[in-house]
């Protein structure tokens, strides 16, 4: 999509002001782009064994849209579906990996068929045999609280209200309105999604094909793991974190419910918090569990902000010099392109605003010395990151209002910093070290 054609103004993409229209617009354009990616895979790129499945799935999605306008966009709001479209998009070039593209296309078709079966919108039943490469399959739906792992070589049948998996003479039938967990030679069926609030779940199951690719120097991928904690502990911790956001930055909490769909649990650590997100997987937040609600609230805001900005990056690069040169970043231990520094500042400016709002409201945590020290450190490093970005960014036309907002928020934090701490230096670490508050 050419930047000149974008009907998009990013005046308050960092912190919503007055309403959530900026995030809504970004989400709508992102979903429209996702649907276009799926519908426009070049015939030459589709392997022969995928062509019939792809055409049939396109037909089913078109019929669902015709019967109920917006059905496709609603389906692509789920990262369990849309992730495969954007992984595929990354390979639609002359040197792309055709095997990976077709593996992801097949997975995407099955995810679309699954969601249409759950919604009762298939025009006729359809059986999908195994991939010729014998790839393992994982069918996931937060909506139905369902994950199905068919046996290698199994055939999966999709029909309204049910999925049938057959491997040899073994058959598993899953009623989608009330799926039952089972573990058989044909398929493993689990119910791994736990509701945080309506439309937002936490899980230890993930079908993101990029989950083990990691950019952070202190992490080795994002393997789902409850961290020996009961899922109910995760749900409670995330509800408490979201409640802090709702109470003090309510429009941001409203935005989260638009874009964030799934938290993937990736362990527990009492000392620090590590989290992640992917540009290709809008709606999924990878988080470790931490005993302190404020740390969880920080992480929730941080990764949500990454998701929101990554959705915008699908529409426009926002700046012309995103990837070179590298800068000695105040917000990461490793040198970063400006793109990475922007992600950090965009994530932590609203975290600083959350602290500020809690302090103004007289929240009990605001009397805690460690909390106050963390507040000061975030503001100081936020300002250092913004200084790097604002000194070097070369905005696109769409990106200019975004950087204007960054400057406005930085000016606000400068006044806050001067009023609260003067010129006192704050000892600290990098912004993405989410330490606890004792």
pLDDT, tens digit, 9 for 90 and up, residues 335-354:
889 999 999 999 999 999 99
Tokens at 26, concatenated: 């970004």
In a domain, 4, yes or no: no
- Is 370:437 a contact under the CB 8 Å cutoff? yes
- The pLDDT tens digits of the residues spanning 272-302 come to 788 999 999 999 999 999 999 999 999 999 9
DSSP 53-107: HHHHHHHHHHHHHHHSTTHHHHHHTSHHHHHHHHHHHTT-STT--HHHHHHHHHH
Separation in Å, CA 308 to CA 253, 278, 345: 13, 11, 13
- The pLDDT tens digits of the residues spanning 173-223 come to 999 999 999 999 999 999 999 999 999 999 999 999 998 665 544 555 688
Could you tell me the pLDDT band of residue 423, with boundaries at 50, 70 and 90? low
How many other β-carbons are positioned within 10 Å of the β-carbon of residue 3?
14
48 and 160 assigned to the same domain: yes
| pTM of the entire predicted model | 0.93
Number of domains into which the chain is organized: 2
Could you tell me the pLDDT band of residue 428, with boundaries at 50, 70 and 90? very low
DSSP SS3 for 140:
strand
Cis peptide before 325 (omega within 30 of 0): yes
Could you tell me the pLDDT band of residue 2, with boundaries at 50, 70 and 90? very low
401 and 289 assigned to the same domain: yes
| Rounded Cα distance, 78 and 76, in Å | 5
Average pLDDT over residues 119-123: 97
What is the residue-averaged pLDDT of the chain?
92
| Rounded Cα distance, 259 and 30, in Å | 11
How many other β-carbons are positioned within 10 Å of the β-carbon of residue 4?
7
For residue 58, is it left (φ>0), alpha (ψ between -120 and 50) or beta?
Answer: alpha
353 and 330 assigned to the same domain: yes
- The pLDDT tens digits of the residues spanning 362-403 come to 999 999 999 999 999 999 999 999 999 999 999 999 999 999
241 and 187 assigned to the same domain: no
- The pLDDT tens digits of the residues spanning 185-194 come to 999 999 999 9
Helices (H), 79-208: 79-89, 98-119
In a domain, 5, yes or no: no
DSSP SS3 for 330:
coil
In a domain, 243, yes or no: yes
In a domain, 2, yes or no: no
In a domain, 392, yes or no: yes
Residue 28: domain span:
12-144+146-191
pLDDT reading at 36 higher than 50: yes
Chain CA centroid to CA 178, Å: 27
- Is 284:83 a contact under the CB 8 Å cutoff? yes
Domain boundary among 126, 158, 191: 191
In a domain, 56, yes or no: yes
Dihedral of CA 385/386/391/392: which sign?
positive
275 and 367 assigned to the same domain: yes
174 and 306 assigned to the same domain: no
pLDDT reading at 146 higher than 50: yes
175 and 303 assigned to the same domain: no
292 and 163 assigned to the same domain: no
Buried/exposed code over 366-401 (b: 16+ C-beta within 10 A; e: otherwise): beeeebbebbbbbbbbbbebbebbeeebebbebbeb
> Nearest 5°: phi and psi at 323?
-115, -10
30 and 156 assigned to the same domain: yes
229 and 129 assigned to the same domain: no
111 and 260 assigned to the same domain: no
284 and 397 assigned to the same domain: yes
Residue 4 DSSP symbol:
G
In a domain, 350, yes or no: yes
- Give the pairing type, strands 262-268 and 284-289: parallel
Separation in Å, CA 107 to CA 33, 135, 230, 379: 19, 10, 30, 43
């Amino acid at each position: 999509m050419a930047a000149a054609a974008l009907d998009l103004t990013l005046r308050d993409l960092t912190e919503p002001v007055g309403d959530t229209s900026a995030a809504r617009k970004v989400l709508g354009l992102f979903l429209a782009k996702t649907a276009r990616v799926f519908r426009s895979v070049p015939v030459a790129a589709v392997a022969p064994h995928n062509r019939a499945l792809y055409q049939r799935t396109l037909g089913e999605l078109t019929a669902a849209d015709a019967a109920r306008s917006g059905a496709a966009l609603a389906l692509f709001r789920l990262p369990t579906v849309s992730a495969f479209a954007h992984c595929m998009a990354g390979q639609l070039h002359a040197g792309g990996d055709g095997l990976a593209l077709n593996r992801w296309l097949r997975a995407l078709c099955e995810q679309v068929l699954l969601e249409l079966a759950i919604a009762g919108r298939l025009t006729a039943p359809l059986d999908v045999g195994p991939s010729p490469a014998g790839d393992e399959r994982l069918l996931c739906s937060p909506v139905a609280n369902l994950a199905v792992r068919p046996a290698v070589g199994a055939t999966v049948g999709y029909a309204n209200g049910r999925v049938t998996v057959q491997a040899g003479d073994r058959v598993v039938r899953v009623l989608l309105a009330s799926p039952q967990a089972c573990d058989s030679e044909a398929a493993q069926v689990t119910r791994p999604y736990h509701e945080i609030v309506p439309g937002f779940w936490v899980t230890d199951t993930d079908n993101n094909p990029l989950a083990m690719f990691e950019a952070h120097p202190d992490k080795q991928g994002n393997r789902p793991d409850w961290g020996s904690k009961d899922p109910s502990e995760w749900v409670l911790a995330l509800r408490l974190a979201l409640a802090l956001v709702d109470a003090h930055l309510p429009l941001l909490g409203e935005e989260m419910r638009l874009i964030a769909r799934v938290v993937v649990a990736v362990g527990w650590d009492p000392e620090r918090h590590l989290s992640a997100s992917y540009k290709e997987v809008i709606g999924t937040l990878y988080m470790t569990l931490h005993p302190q609600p404020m740390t969880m609230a920080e992480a929730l805001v941080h990764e949500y902000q990454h998701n929101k900005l990554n959705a915008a990056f699908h529409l426009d690069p926002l700046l012309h010099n995103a990837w070179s040169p590298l800068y000695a970043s105040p917000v990461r231990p490793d040198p970063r392109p400006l793109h990475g520094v922007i992600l950090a500042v965009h994530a932590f400016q609203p975290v600083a605003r959350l602290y500020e709002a809690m302090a103004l409201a007289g929240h009990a945590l605001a009397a805690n010395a460690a909390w106050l020290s963390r507040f000061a450190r975030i503001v100081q490093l936020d300002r250092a990151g913004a200084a790097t970005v604002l000194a070097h960014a070369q905005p696109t036309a769409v990106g200019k209002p975004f950087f204007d907002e960054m400057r406005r928020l930085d000016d606000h934090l400068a006044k806050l910093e001067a009023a609260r701490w003067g010129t006192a230096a704050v000892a600290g670490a990098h912004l993405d070290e989410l330490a606890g508050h004792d």
